[in-house]
C-alpha cells in the first residue's frame, strides 16, 4: 500500500522583522546573519497569535483540498511550544475545524523531531485503517531574549498535512535510519519561558546524528546516495542545513529548499516540511517520480533519515502562488515594534493586532485560553 502526504499547507504570522534592521541595532554586520546563519527575516508574533491559531489556519487550508473531511480519524499535534501539560493543543484545532467527534486527538513532543514522529505514527495508522486519513500538524513559535545569541534565529510557523493511502504529493517509503542519543544540547524546563541551549554541542550532534542515521538508512534500504534525487534537512537556520548537505557529501545546491525558511525563521517541528514545500514550489526541474531524502533532527536527541517518492500528480496539488501570497502579504515592523512584541505577554492579548487566518486568542481567564473567530 502506498501511504504518504496527500495535502500540505503552512501558516505564519502577519508580521516580519528584517535581520538587517536587527543587525544595525545590535551593532553587528548584517552578513553575520545573512551569510553566517543563512537567515534574512524572522516571523514575529503578536500576543493574540499562538501555536493554536496558526495551526488552525494551516489545517483549514490543508483539509480544504481533500474530498471527505469525515475520513479524518486521527489528529496529531506536534510541538515543543506547548502551553499545557495536560490538554492537547489539537483539541482546540479539532473544535474550530468542526471535525467529527469520533476522531482521536493527541499531542506529541520531542523537540524539532516531533512532526516526523507524528508522520510515522500516521503512516502506521493508515496502514491498519486504509480508508482513514490522519491530520498531522507541526506548530512552533521560537522566542529568545533580546540581545541573546539565539535572537536572530527566532521565528515560527505551522505546517499541516493529511496522511492517506494513495497520496497525491509524496509517498513515504519504508525503511529509515534512526538515532537516539541522550545529550543536553537544547532543553526547556517547565519553569522557563524560553529554551536553554548549547549551540556548539547542538550543531555537532546534528551532524553526528545525520551521519549515523543516513548510513543506517542506506544500509537498511540497500541504496546509495546516487539513488536520491533531492534532499531536505531540518533547518533551525539555513546554514545548518547546508552543513548537513556537506556532511553527506551532497552534490547539488539545496538553496531552493531554504527560500521559505530564510524569511520565516526557525519553526522547529514545522521546519523540515516547510523546506519540503519550498522544494516542491521552487524547483526549476520536474520532480515527478523523484526520490527526496529527508533528515529530521530533534535536540536531546532523536534523528531520523527517511525518503519519499514525489507523486506524478503533485503539481496539481501544491499551491506555490498561495504560499507566495502568504509571505508577501506580511507586514514589516520597526525595531521599536519588534521590542514591543517581545515584551507583550500572552496573558494580555491586544485586540488591534492583525491575525493570520480566522481565529485569534481572545483572552486568558482563570488560566483558561479563550479563542474566538475573527469577525470581518
The answer to whether 264 touches 293, Cβ cutoff 8 Å, is no
DSSP structural state of residue 255:
G
268 noted as active-site residue: no
User: CB–CB of 33/19 below 8 Å?
Assistant: yes
342 catalytic? Reply is no
Residue 179's region, left for phi above 0, alpha for psi from -120 to 50, else beta, is: beta
Q: Which residues contact 92 (CB under 8 A, 6 or more apart)?
A: 52, 56, 369, 371
CB atoms within 10 A of CB 203: 16
CA distances from 99 to 69, 86, 90, 115, 125 (A): 7, 21, 11, 20, 18
**In this structure, what C-alpha cell is assigned to residue 353?**
493586532
* Catalytic residue selected from 49, 234, 275, 304: 234
Q: What angle do CA 347, 19, 41 make, to 5 degrees?
A: 75
Report which DSSP code applies to 265.
Answer: B
CA distances from 75 to 8, 138, 243, 277, 359 (A): 14, 11, 34, 21, 19
In angstroms, the Cα distances linking 103 to 3, 111, 120 are 20, 25, 18
DSSP 269-336: GGHHHHHHHHHHHH-SS--TT-EEEEEEEETTTEEEEEEEEE-TTGGGT--HHHHHHHHHT-EE--HH
The HSE-up count of residue 261 (CA atoms within 13 Å, CB side) is 34
Task: Tell me the C-alpha distance between 115 and 161, whole Å.
Answer: 10
**How many Cα atoms occupy the beta-carbon half-sphere of 350 within 13 Å?**
11
Q: Which candidate in 49, 94, 107, 112 is catalytic? A: 112
Q: Let me know: does 13 contact 24? Beta carbons within 8 Å.
A: no
From residue 138, alpha-carbon distances to 27, 73, 117, 180 in Å are 34, 18, 10, 20
Q: Which residues are catalytic?
A: 80, 112, 234
Amino acid at each position: 500500500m502506498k501511504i504518504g502526504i496527500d495535502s500540505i499547507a503552512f501558516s505564519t504570522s502577519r508580521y516580519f522583522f528584517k535581520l538587517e534592521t536587527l543587525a544595525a541595532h545590535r551593532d553587528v554586520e548584517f552578513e553575520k546573519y545573512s551569510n553566517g546563519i543563512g537567515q534574512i527575516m524572522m516571523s514575529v508574533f503578536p500576543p493574540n497569535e499562538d501555536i493554536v491559531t496558526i495551526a488552525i489556519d494551516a489545517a483549514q487550508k490543508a483539509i480544504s483540498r481533500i474530498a471527505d473531511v469525515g475520513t479524518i480519524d486521527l489528529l496529531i499535534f506536534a510541538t515543543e511550544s506547548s502551553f499545557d501539560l495536560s490538554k492537547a493543543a489539537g483539541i482546540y484545532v479539532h473544535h474550530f475545524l468542526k471535525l467529527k467527534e469520533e476522531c482521536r486527538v493527541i499531542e506529541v513532543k520531542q523537540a524539532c523531531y516531533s512532526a516526523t514522529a507524528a508522520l510515522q505514527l500516521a503512516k502506521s495508522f493508515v496502514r491498519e485503517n486504509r480508508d482513514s486519513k490522519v491530520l498531522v500538524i507541526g506548530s512552533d513559535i521560537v522566542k529568545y531574549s533580546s540581545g541573546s545569541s539565539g535572537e536572530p534565529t527566532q521565528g515560527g510557523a505551522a505546517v499541516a498535512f493529511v496522511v492517506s493511502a494513495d497520496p497525491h504529493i509524496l509517498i513515504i517509503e519504508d525503511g529509515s535510519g534512526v538515532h537516539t542519543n541522550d545529550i543536553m544540547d537544547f532543553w526547556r524546563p517547565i519553569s522557563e519561558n524560553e529554551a536553554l541551549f548549547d549551540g556548539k554541542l547542538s550543531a555537532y550532534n546534528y551532524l553526528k546524528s545525520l551521519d549515523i542515521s543516513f548510513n543506517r538508512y542506506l544500509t537498511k534500504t540497500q541504496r546509495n546516495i546516487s539513488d536520491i534525487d533531492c534532499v531536505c534537512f531540518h533547518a533551525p537556520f539555513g546554514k545548518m542545513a547546508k552543513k548537513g548537505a556537506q556532511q553527506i557529501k551532497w552534490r547539488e545546491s539545496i538553496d531552493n529548499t531554504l527560500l521559505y525558511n530564510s524569511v520565516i525563521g526557525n519553526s522547529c517541528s514545522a521546519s523540515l516540511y516547510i523546506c519540503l514545500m519550498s522544494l516542491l514550489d521552487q524547483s526549476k526541474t520536474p520532480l515527478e517520480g523523484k526520490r527526496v531524502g529527508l533528515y529530521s533532527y530533534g535536540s536531546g536527541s532523536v534523528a531520523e533519515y527517511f525518503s519519499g517518492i514525489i507523486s506524478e500528480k503533485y503539481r496539481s496539488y501544491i499551491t506555490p502562488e498561495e504560499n507566495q501570497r502568504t509571505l508577501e502579504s506580511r507586514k514589516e515592523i520597526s525595531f521599536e515594534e519588534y521590542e514591543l512584541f517581545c515584551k507583550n505577554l500572552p496573558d494580555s492579548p491586544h485586540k488591534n493586532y492583525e491575525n493570520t487566518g480566522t481565529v485569534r486568542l481572545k483572552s486568558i481567564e482563570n488560566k483558561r485560553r479563550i479563542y474566538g473567530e475573527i469577525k470581518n
